[in-house]
Amino acid sequence: MKLKVIIMRKRLAAGNWKMNMTPSQAKSFISEIKPLLADADSEVLFFVPAIDIQAALAAAEGSNIQIGAENFFYEDKGAYTGEISLDMIRDTGAEYVLMGHSERRTIFGESDEWINKKLLKAIEYGMKPMVCCGESLEIREAGNTLGWIEAQIRSAFTGVSAADAANVVIAYEPIWAIGTGKVATTDQAQEVCGMIRKLIADIYDADTAEKIRILYGGSVSPENAAELFAQPDIDGGLVGGASLKTSFEKIAKA
């Protein structure tokens, strides 16, 4: 009889700064918070605006804090005024890249096709990708949450091998809970994250599903983090506003 191998996934506490922090503010904040995070058991990561990447990396040097880029374009170079390429990001030393966040989808019109192109490009460049997914309040109230999330995930992972998929982080962020103070209940968050893991097993296999890390995001706070992260299919969080405060330490240690 073949025994199932239990894979211990390392928890990940990720912050998404969005359009906040100047380079000097980023340097000051990371210098202040890094001694507080030195004994965190989880992996710690901040996604920062492109202009902050080098200042953040310099401030985080020698610590357990990793720095990632909030956004990039899927072409290598060219006439794309205002965009930033993965070659530019990689040259700074940043390793993680974020894609598929609801704000990029809804405000800037990034389609499922774009997210797939970004993921394939991130894999090509050897970066560590995090793919976001999530539903609006209207979709949830209509009872279409799981179907919506499945469509986003299947599209994002089109053409991605099992070996590469295992190294992708997925962040489930219900749009109705981002920055609103509303939080999906523990059961709601676990239901969707559990469904995503089963979906990865269906697309690939059980081993890939066991390896992939799935985060919850949406008004995560020091008060609710421990309960959320204790769920079997939630491997940490993607945190917005709370990642701009030194109390993020409590989330990273939850």
Write out the DSSP string of 103-151.
HHHHTT---HHHHHHHHHHHHHTT-EEEEEE---HHHHHTT-HHHHHHH
pLDDT in tens, 214-229: 999 988 999 999 999 9
Is 60 exceeded by the pLDDT of residue 6?
no
In a domain, 1, yes or no: no
Q: CA angle, corner 100, sides to 94 and 104, nearest 5?
A: 95
Cα distances (angstroms) measured from residue 6 to each of 13, 196, 204, 209, 229: 22, 18, 17, 11, 18
Active site residue 173: yes
Pairing outcome for strands 12-16 and 43-48: parallel
Q: What confidence tier does 116 reach under pLDDT thresholds 50, 70, 90? A: very high
Q: What confidence tier does 237 reach under pLDDT thresholds 50, 70, 90? A: very high
pLDDT in tens, 144-200: 999 999 999 999 999 999 999 999 999 999 998 877 777 789 999 999 999 999 999
In a domain, 143, yes or no: yes
In a domain, 227, yes or no: yes
Residue 66: the pLDDT is 98
In a domain, 5, yes or no: no
Give the residue carrying structure tokens 């902050």: 52
Active site residue 75: no
Residue 2: the pLDDT is 44
In a domain, 211, yes or no: yes
In a domain, 7, yes or no: no
Q: Can you give the residue range of the structural domain that contains 36?
A: 12-252
In a domain, 161, yes or no: yes
Q: How much of the chain exceeds pLDDT 70, in percent?
A: 97
Please tell me which residue in 101, 110, 135, 249 is annotated as part of the active site: 101
* CATH code for the domain of 183: 3.20.20.70
Please tell me which residue in 70, 103, 110, 173 is annotated as part of the active site: 173
Residue 179: the pLDDT is 74
pLDDT in tens, 26-48: 999 999 999 999 999 999 999 99
To which H or E segment does residue 66 belong? strand 65-69
Question: What's the domain count of the chain?
Answer: 1
| Prediction pTM value | 0.95
Residue 181: the pLDDT is 74
In a domain, 6, yes or no: no
Average the pLDDT over 129-134 and give the result: 98
pLDDT in tens, 64-92: 999 999 999 999 999 999 999 999 999 99
Residue 201: the pLDDT is 98
What string of DSSP letters covers 185-251? -HHHHHHHHHHHHHHHHHHS-HHHHHHSEEEE-SS--TTTHHHHHTSTT--EEEESGGGGSTTHHHH
